[in-house]
């Protein structure tokens, strides 16, 4: 059975963005943050990070004509906490930013699941197709992961130097996220709809 043209969602440029480009847009602001911190300290790094974050969003918009929800929310928190950091000259705000972002994502995912309104299909549904059970399991895993990362950030920034925290944020957070995402592939394969599995068979 084939879908009628009206039932087929229109492809968006965001879906065709090369994975390496998407990775570069996510990693770029973190690298800028790390370099600026080494050259001029946390406040220079905060300002540079804010500029680089919104530059990355602008590039994403130019290429895709669409910005995903998660980087948009993260950029909003960067703007608020970065501004507080610079105005008040208190680096606690920028250090707590990852905690807040991860906690928001984690609570939103698990809260939506508890209310029987899972949010992950709205974020990834145009990229992946899963059964309802698959979406539930994936939502639980990502929700818990984000909460764990929120706690981990609190532990790190409260117990190490600023330079060490910056290094963790740059070279620890994103790799951990990528490894976790790759670890979800077996679950996603297992819970792919039957028609999707049959399409992959020769």
Distance CA 186, CA 183 (A): 7
Q: Give the CA radius of gyration of the chain.
A: 19
Q: How far apart are CA 180 and CA 173, in angstroms?
A: 11
**Which of these, 103, 138, 126, 133, lies nearest to 12 by C-alpha position?**
126
84 lies in a domain? yes
In whole angstroms, what is the distance from residue 106 CA to residue 134 CA?
17
Asked, for residue 202, whether it belongs to a domain, the answer is no
Tokens of 157: 């920034």
In order along its 202 residues, the chain shows pLDDT tens digits of 444 444 434 444 445 566 677 778 888 899 999 999 999 999 999 999 999 999 999 988 888 778 777 888 889 999 999 999 999 999 999 999 999 999 999 999 999 888 888 777 777 655 667 788 888 898 999 999 999 999 999 999 999 999 999 999 988 888 899 899 999 889 888 877 776 555 545 5
**Total count of domains within the chain:** 1
pTM of the model: 0.78
Answer yes or no: is 112 within a domain.
yes
Q: Do the domain assignments include residue 20?
A: yes
The CB-side HSE value for 187 (13 A sphere, CA atoms) comes to 16
Are the C-beta atoms of residues 106 and 150 closer than 8 Å to each other?
yes
CA distances from 108 to 72, 86, 104, 146, 172 (A): 15, 29, 6, 10, 24
Quick check: is 8 in a domain?
Answer: no
Range of the domain at 168: 13-191
Residue 196 lies in a domain: no
3-state secondary structure (DSSP) of residue 172: coil
Structure tokens at 194: 């039957």
């Amino acid at each position: 059975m084939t879908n009628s043209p009206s039932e087929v969602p229109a492809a968006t440029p965001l879906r065709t963005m090369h994975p390496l480009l998407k990775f570069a847009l996510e990693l770029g602001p973190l690298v800028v943050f790390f370099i600026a911190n080494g050259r001029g300290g946390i406040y220079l790094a905060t300002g540079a990070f804010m500029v680089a974050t919104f530059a990355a969003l602008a590039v994403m918009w130019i290429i895709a004509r669409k910005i995903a929800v998660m980087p948009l929310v993260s950029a909003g928190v960067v703007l608020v906490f970065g501004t507080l950091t610079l105005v008040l000259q208190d680096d606690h705000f920028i250090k707590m930013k990852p905690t807040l972002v991860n906690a928001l994502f984690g609570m939103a995912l698990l809260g939506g699941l508890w209310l029987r309104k899972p949010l992950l299909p709205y974020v990834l549904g145009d990229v992946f197709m899963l059964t309802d059970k698959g979406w539930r399991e994936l939502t639980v895993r990502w929700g818990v992961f984000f909460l764990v990362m929120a706690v981990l950030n609190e532990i790190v920034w409260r117990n190490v130097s600023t330079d060490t925290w910056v290094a963790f944020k740059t070279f620890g957070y994103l790799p951990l996220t990528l490894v976790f995402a790759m670890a979800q592939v077996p679950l996603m394969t297992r819970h792919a709809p039957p028609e999707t599995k049959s399409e992959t068979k020769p």
